[in-house]
Amino acid sequence: MEEKRKFTVKDALVTVGNFFVSLFKGDLVLKLHADKYFVHILYTFFLIWLCIWVSMRIDKTLTKVENNRKELASLEIYCAEKRAELEELYSIRVTEQNLEKLGSDLRRPEKPVTAIRKK
């Protein structure tokens, strides 16, 4: 009676090696009779590539949006600071001090302004 041969690690490595060699040569497709589905396989890989590419573009766009949102927040703070500085410059007290520095005799009016109405 014939003795059965045991499957060893070396046999597994040879089988895996043959699989990759036939895969890279293109023989695997022919062995599996998948050559008639080549166009479909190619179309599937194209769709997978397209999905990955679109996903990467979306991530890039979302990153830009987040960076722009942070930049906008910092610019809003800057704008508020400038607005506060301008409002301070337009106050009566600061205006009087600036006029004094320039040597002007203009002062705040002593009596209230009377409105002249046209009849």
Residue with tokens 């397209």: 50
Q: Is 20 part of any domain? A: yes
Q: Is 79 part of any domain? A: yes
CB-neighbour burial class of residue 78 (10 A; exposed 0-12, middle 13-18, buried 19+): exposed
Q: Is 32 part of any domain? A: yes
Q: Is 118 part of any domain? A: no
Q: Is 115 part of any domain? A: no
**Token pair of 62 as six digits:** 């979302």
Q: Is 62 part of any domain? A: yes
Expressed as residue numbers, the domain containing 34 is 11-102
Q: Is 61 part of any domain? A: yes
CB-neighbour burial class of residue 26 (10 A; exposed 0-12, middle 13-18, buried 19+): exposed
Q: Is 82 part of any domain? A: yes
Q: In 3D, which of 110, 107, 84, 85 has the Cα closest to residue 95?
A: 107
Q: What is the DSSP letter of 110?
A: S
pLDDT of residue 2: 64
pTM for the whole structure: 0.49
Tens digit of pLDDT at every position of the chain (119 positions): 567 777 788 888 988 898 888 878 877 777 777 778 888 988 999 999 999 999 999 999 999 999 999 999 999 999 999 998 888 777 777 788 888 888 888 777 777 777 777 76
The span from the CA of 88 to the CA of 2, in Å, is: 104
**Number of domains observed in the structure of the chain:** 1
Residue 40: Cβ within 10 Å count: 10
pLDDT of residue 1: 53
